[in-house]
Structure 1
Amino acid sequence: MKLLLDQGLPRSAPKLLAEAGIDAIHVADIGLSKAEDGTILTEGRALKRVVVTLDADFHSLLALTEATSPSVIRIRIERLQARAIANLLPTY
Structure 2
Amino acid sequence: MNFLVDENLSPRIADLLTKAGHDSAHVRDLQATSAPDSMIMNIARADGRVIISADTDFGALLAQARATEPSIILVRELLELRPPELVNIVLNHLDVLEPHLRAGAIAAFTTSGIRVRTLPLR
TM norm structure 1:
0.91
Q: Does 1:50 align with 2:72?
A: no
Q: Does 1:21 align with 2:21?
A: yes
Query: Could you tell which deviates more after superposition, 38-47 or 74-83?
Result: 74-83
Aligned residue for 1:61, secondary structure, equals helix
CA–CA separation in structure 2 for the residues paired with 1:36 and 1:79 = 25
Residue aligning to 2:85: 84
Residue aligning to 2:5: 5
- Give CA deviations for 1:15-43 in whole Å, capped at 9, x if unaligned: 21122112110001100111011110111
- Give CA deviations for 1:25-81 in whole Å, capped at 9, x if unaligned: 000110011101111011100010001100111011001011110000100222432
Gaps of 5+ in 1: none
TM norm structure 2:
0.70
CA–CA separation in structure 2 for the residues paired with 1:85 and 1:22 = 15
Bigger Rg over Cα: 2
Aligned residue pairs total: 92
CA–CA separation in structure 2 for the residues paired with 1:34 and 1:86 = 23
Identity of aligned residues (%): 36
Higher RCO, 1 vs 2 (CA within 8 Å, ≥6 residues apart):
1
Residue aligning to 1:61: 61
